[in-house]
Amino acid sequence: MASAAIGISIVGAGVALSDHLTDYPVLGAQAVRYAIGAGLLYLVGRAGRRGSEPGLGAGDWVRLVAMTLTGMVLFNVAVVRAVTTGEPAVVGTIVGLAPVGVALAVPLLERRRPHANIVVGAALAAAGAAVVEGYGAADLPSLAWSFAALGCEVAFTVLAAPLLRTLSPLGLAVRACVLASLMMSAAAALLEGTDGFARPDAGEALTIVYLAVGSTAVAFVLWYRALAHLGPERTGLFAGLMPVSATLVGAAATAAPLSAGTLVGAILAGTGLAVGLGSRSARSAPPAPPRPEPEPEPVTVRVTGAGLPPGRVGRWRPLAAVGERHDEPHHEECAGQARGDDRGHGP
């Protein structure tokens, strides 16, 4: 649980610091961010001398590309489009519904009923995010882009969960960042041209470095680690902490006093976590491998019959599996030994 809380708080801090990138091309900044993050994660894996990750099947590659395209590329595009004609508070409030979306989407995909504790907790976390973000005005296109960003945020968590049955959190983060960097670079070259990779000033460069190291390399691994241990529904509850973290960091950076709404929202988000995490049955851990059946041990039986000396016992073994050689003779005693036949006779 600490991994999810720390990871989402780091992302929230990055949201607050992203104000320094308002004049920098967004696609180019994200492309550089993910490229740096991928390089750092690769170096961490090499330094840790981790073994090679298992290969991905066709279905896993589809999930990985879909997760990257929605949760890391289209999400950023949708947020930028939404705040163009709408106030950021509206966008943040709608995207803050992500815990509810995950709590409902996962049971729907698994064809089961949602866990009541998690749905209630997710609703409280979303309410806390709404109180922190506040309210504002937005036109229809802004609302549409905001809900598109919400869907992308939900997809980022839901699509990652099955991949963690094959990949480690670090392995998944590396692959996702590489794909996101390639997609963002192509989009920046197509939509922003040469201006997409303009030279940043000092403040912009520091912000991009923080996003690459903190909000990408560190936060992604922590989030995926929590996702592997807690499951998507319970991990999704922590998304309600992101606006709280963003507000706290923004207030600290500008020395602005905290409002009563921020405190109330933080209490609601914390209450939602307490309620939702109480449902232990929602944990979605990878299925354990089947335990091999033990080979039956030989059974000792006492055989009676003509010609057997008193006290002699026979040994009986079950039939060997197909393809097993009978190199070791059986030691069953049978009546044939009374005729001088000392060969063992299997069942």
Domain boundaries, the chain: 2-282, 296-347
What band does 312 get if pLDDT is binned at 50, 70 and 90?
very low
Residue 233 scores a pLDDT above 80: yes
Predicted confidence at residue 100, as pLDDT, reads 93
CB 232 within 8 A of CB 285: no
What band does 11 get if pLDDT is binned at 50, 70 and 90?
confident
Q: Is 96 exposed, middle or buried (0-12, 13-18, 19+ CB in 10 A)?
A: buried
Report the share of the chain in percent with pLDDT over 90: 32
- Single pTM value for the model: 0.71
What band does 107 get if pLDDT is binned at 50, 70 and 90?
very high
The Cα diameter of the chain in Å comes to: 105
What band does 299 get if pLDDT is binned at 50, 70 and 90?
low
What band does 293 get if pLDDT is binned at 50, 70 and 90?
low
**β-bridge mates for residue 315, sequence order:** 300
DSSP 8-state symbol, 300: E
> From residue 156, how far is each of 173, 185, 250 by CA, in Å?
12, 20, 25
What is the C-alpha separation between 158 and 143, in angstroms, rounded?
23
- Predicted confidence (pLDDT) per residue in 20-48, tens digit: 787 888 889 999 999 999 999 999 888 87
* Four-point Cα dihedral 321, 322, 325, 326, nearest 10: 60
Predicted confidence at residue 79, as pLDDT, reads 84
140-158 and 58-68 are packed helices; what angle lies between their axes, rounded to 10 degrees? 140
Predicted confidence at residue 50, as pLDDT, reads 63
Phi, psi of 135 (to 5 degrees): -130, 160
